[in-house]
Amino acid sequence: MDTNPTLGGSMGKYTEQFKLTAITAYLEGSWGFRKVAQHFGIDFSLLRRWVAGYQVDACLSPRSHGRRYTEEFKRRVLKYMLEHRLSLRQT
């Protein structure tokens, strides 16, 4: 287990190794988000976001900033969200 979860400084960002360790513990274990997050001393919603991002991208690297979506794309996403009764997080 990564015993130094932050990069240092006051921002509190977690290392990719720490994130991967927590994600792996959730995916390969029998504990739920809350139990794994408690074990690693992080908020369960943070772990849930890490896992969801990992499952979509199969990596931890952040997406490039400044990505712009067209109005048409945004409308299609909202329509899909409403049709399938999904939350913003699920969408």
Q: Are 50 and 23 in contact (CB under 8 A)?
A: yes
Query: What residues form DSSP beta bridges with 14?
Result: 6
Closest CA to 20 of 41, 56, 47: 47
* CA 29 – CA 43 distance, rounded (Å): 18
Task: Select from 70, 29, 65, 26 the least CA-distant residue to 49.
Answer: 26
Show me where the domains of the chain are located: 16-83
Q: pLDDT tens digits for 43-83?
A: 999 999 999 888 877 666 555 555 677 888 888 888 888 99
Structure tokens at 53: 């991002």
Q: What is the pLDDT of residues 16-45, one digit of tens each?
A: 899 999 999 999 989 999 999 999 999 999
